[in-house]
Structure 1
């Protein structure tokens, strides 16, 4: 499942934020998603301070336990004002077996 990236800095209450795209489309493995999220953070470390939401959807059945997010990526998240949301999806909700 993709990692959705949304900026809520100019959003009014009850109104969605600006969709900034997706990474890892079709990928459910949390380790691979965190690797791509790290790379995204490094490439986007100069984004203006905002209210970004990084929604990571993963399926535990398709992930190896022990995924790790780098401190470098977390520093970027703090600098740009990003919140990380982990959403667990089970096989029945993803259509996978």
Structure 2
């Protein structure tokens, strides 16, 4: 069973890598992005899309962790307030 899970994981990773390679090979057109007057150098569409994916994968968990910490802080503050109002 353990070997089957490993084999399926390896197969999934190989399929994912093949899809990424296929995507990169199919999207070689160069584009230049302009944002607020700043112009990025021309590069393939695939590079920009994959860079946006990586940035999103990094920022998403950071925002989630921030929200979790903020929620815990609010809970602690409300518990502290309740304890002070009871005494």
TM-score category by the smaller chain? under 0.3
Q: Name which structure has the greater RCO, CA cutoff 8 Å, separation 6+.
A: 1
Which of the pair has more CA radius of gyration?
A: 2
Larger proportion of helix: 2
Larger proportion of strand: 1
